């Protein structure tokens, strides 16, 4: 699954002031990433505000992104939830003509056991026409998919090819890297830990900040995968302040503030999220200015 190695970005869904989708801004964002080294695009993840995008809007987003992309980068589509039957029904109803993989989050809110998580993904694997990237993000789901469950799924189902691990837990990353099947991909979902994971043997990242600063971030990840630690950390240290800022209030309000300062899109979000504070925007402007000078 070399198409998922490197830097994937979890695209925002840009909104206008009336909170309708800003397709012009989305096109700018896609072209910005294609031109600057991003390896693949992820549609309708958490950063894309998937929980407040309607099913009809999601279909329009997929079609528009595929049209703009024109096959230049692989596309991964987020399809997940805590109702296994609904996830299966969505997969069966989706046109995957332009889609290369599925990103599916571990069931949230319900707090299933490890066996429940295994059976959920087993059922999805059995109907999926595309490779599956598991997504473990305990801070949002309120349950942790253990390395043992991830590796069990990786060994049992050939179309489960990777995990986006976002537990911000270094030990868990290392346990996954130690025990995973040979060709199974460990992808960081934590921008601040992504380089360390790549250097330890990971296959890359599905990033938030990467969509705003794709040239620097994707170069850092490539250097990390190649084992060039010093060159990679030179970039990492420069990116640390802006990476920390985008998660200081909420995601995606932080990354939308960065993209607004870069004149790519506006910073509107849908409730229950609220826009970045004026202070965060001031801090973002300073961090981007410092980065440009570095």
Catalytic residues: 135, 164
Helices 229-246 & 214-225, crossing angle to 10 degrees?
Answer: 140
Residues shown for the chain: 294
CB 135 within 8 A of CB 189: yes
- List, as one string, the DSSP characters of 200-268: TT--EEEESGGGTSHHHHHHHHHHHHTT-HHHHHHHHHHHHHHHHHHTSS-TTHHHHHHHHHTTSS---
């Amino acid at each position: 699954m070399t198409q998922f190695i490197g830097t994937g970005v979890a695209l925002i869904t840009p909104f206008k002031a009336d909170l309708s989708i800003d397709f012009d801004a989305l096109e700018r964002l896609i072209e910005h990433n294609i031109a600057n080294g991003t390896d693949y695009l992820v549609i309708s993840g958490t950063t894309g505000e998937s929980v407040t995008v309607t099913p009809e809007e999601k279909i329009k987003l997929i079609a528009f992104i595929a049209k703009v992309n024109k096959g230049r980068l692989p596309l991964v589509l987020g399809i997940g939830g805590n109702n296994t039957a609904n996830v299966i029904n969505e997969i069966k109803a989706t046109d995957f003509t332009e889609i290369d993989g599925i990103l599916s989050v571990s069931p949230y809110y319900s707090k299933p056991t490890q066996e429940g998580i295994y059976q959920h993904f087993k059922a999805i694997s059995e109907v999926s026409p595309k490779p599956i990237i598991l997504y473990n993000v305990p801070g949002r789901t309120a349950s942790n998919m253990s390395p043992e469950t991830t590796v069990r799924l990786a060994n049992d189902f050939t179309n489960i090819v990777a995990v986006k691990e976002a537990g911000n837990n270094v030990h868990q990353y290392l346990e996954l890297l130690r025990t995973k099947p040979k060709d199974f991909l460990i992808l960081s979902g934590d921008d601040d830990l992504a380089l360390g994971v790549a250097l330890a043997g990971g296959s890359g990242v599905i990033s938030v900040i990467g969509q705003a600063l794709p040239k620097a971030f994707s170069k850092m990840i490539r250097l990390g995968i190649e084992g060039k630690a010093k060159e990679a950390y030179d970039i990492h240290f420069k990116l640390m302040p802006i990476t920390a800022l985008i998660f200081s209030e909420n995601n995606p309000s932080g990354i939308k503030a960065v993209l607004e300062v870069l004149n790519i899109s506006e910073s509107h979000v849908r409730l229950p999220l609220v826009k970045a504070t004026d202070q965060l925007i001031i801090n973002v402007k300073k961090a981007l200015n410092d980065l440009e000078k570095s």
